[in-house]
Structure 1
Amino acid sequence: MNKPLDYAIRYSRRKTAAIHITQQGVELRLPHGVSESWGHQFIQQKRDWIERKLKEQSRYTQHIPNLEWGSTILWHGQPVPLTYQPATQASLKLTPHGFVFSAKTEPNKEIRKKWLADFFKQEARNYLTSLTNEKVAALNLQDQLKAVRLRYTKSKWGHCSSVGNIQYNWLIMGAPFEVIDYLVCHEVSHLIHLNHSPAFWQQVAKICPDYKKHQAWLKQEGVRLAWF
């Protein structure tokens, strides 16, 4: 006998039923007026698909860094351990021995996450702004670039708006230098082509010939950057 599926039902003003697999579990979203009994039948019809997606998610989450002492996170593509040393002054430093958290008492996981986020944001602000300006200047696109910004998102590594604002997910600093370079080339190319047309990808290839390899790294290994 199959083990019962654990799922939640949520009603909304949507027009069709949909199943969402999230970190919190399985959620069935139904239009108002649809009975729960119909929803239960719908779930059973999609059971094979749900179980396949849950297995994929399980494999995915196994690679998310947990920020425990001694565990590692990626920094420029290299695994760097998290360590603690007692000290009177609180700080976080990147040393040859890893990310060293110094404080009177061991900072808990939420504090570790905040300190790491602050470190990544500061490094990203300096590095990504400089690299973006460099590539924009090489393409003579200074008039098209309005600003370089940072923002954490779950679904995007970068974004370029129609008015020339380029936005990066600061977690990208965990990726290898060449992957970061590809992301910058990708977003700068949107200043010329605000789409993903063949002409856009031709432009990306001009300034990043191996872009497909770096694109594949992000797709396959990006979960290892997702510690926040």
Structure 2
Amino acid sequence: MNAMALPDAVLERLQISSSSRRKSIGIKVGPEGVRVLKPSSVSRADVMRLLQGRRQWLLEKLALQQQRLDERPDHHYGDGDSFAFLGQNLSLKISQGARENRVVREGDILLINLSSRGRKPAAERVRELLCQWYMAQALEYLGALSLRYAEQIGQRVGSVKVKLTRSKWGHCSRAGDLQYNWLILLAPVPVIEYLVAHEVSHLVHMNHSRDFWQQVAELCPDYLASRRWLKQQGHRLVI
């Protein structure tokens, strides 16, 4: 059986990497395509045979990923474009020719002043400024909420960072350092609170045991609805 037995939809978006530390083959299907992580001792031919056996599953997963991509909002980064922020919708108002780049919120309006020295297309510059603004807002908001929740359960937070990640919305290290995907600020507030409650609860339980979920429920009683929302709608949170 050869690679040609696989459909083009899989072959064109297939990445295979090896690691001497891996014990088994892992297959992940995401927006970037099909990624296979294999032990160094496993041949490419063996991988292809495995993928052929999962042909229908791969096609279904790729179709789902394409559907999710199609469901993402189509932004133009100009006047009137709208972005969610802590449960509200902010409308952009663009001003060009300013002395320096600046983002200012006035109620439900987000004023973006573009420097006259910029060389990139206006839409690209607006998007970059938006990302920077959201990152700053996320660090402040998520940091404060993390500290408040941690105090409620008698725990200490090491540090709080925000980062744009591909697969995880949050992470808690064994040292108590918390990291969040700043795009979560595009979600409704209850969903944001669930995510923070989830990561802060890992300060007590570094697992997803029954005790862990009880801890999450203590901080966020309605977490099940928010957890379900994030799984079903998280792919729409883009800038």
TM-score by length of 1: 0.79
TM-superposition CA deviations, 1:147-171 (whole Å, max 9, x none):
2222221122222111211222222
Q: RMSD in angstroms over aligned alpha carbons? A: 3.1
- Aligned sequence identity (%): 34
Q: Paired residue for 1:215? A: 227
In 1: Cα distance, 2:90 partner to 2:98 partner? 24
**Distance 1:117-1:12 versus aligned 2 partners, 3 A rule:** same
The unaligned stretches of length 5 or more in structure 1 are none
**Distance 1:39-1:66 versus aligned 2 partners, 3 A rule:** same
In 1: Cα distance, 2:206 partner to 2:48 partner? 43
Q: Paired residue for 1:73? A: 83
In 2: Cα distance, 1:125 partner to 1:166 partner? 11
Shift of 1:61: 0.7
Q: Paired residue for 1:196? A: 208
Structure scoring higher RCO (CA < 8 A, sep ≥ 6) equals: 1
CA contact (8 A) 1:67 1:82 kept: no
Shift of 1:99: 3.1
Q: Which has the larger displacement, 161-170 or 45-54?
A: 45-54
TM-score by length of 2: 0.76
TM-superposition CA deviations, 1:164-192 (whole Å, max 9, x none):
11222222111222222222222222222
Q: How does 1:108-127 map to 2 (within 5 A)?
A: 108-127=122-141
Q: Paired residue for 2:18? A: 12
Q: Paired residue for 2:3? A: none
Q: Paired residue for 1:163? A: 175
- Counterpart selection for 1:145 from 157, 162, 165: 157
CA contact (8 A) 2:82 2:90 kept: yes
In 2: Cα distance, 1:179 partner to 1:33 partner? 41
Q: Paired residue for 2:29? A: 21
**Distance 1:181-1:5 versus aligned 2 partners, 3 A rule:** same
Q: Which has the larger displacement, 149-158 or 198-207?
A: 149-158
Equivalenced residue count is 223
Q: Paired residue for 1:53? A: 61
TM-superposition CA deviations, 1:110-132 (whole Å, max 9, x none):
42332112111211122122222
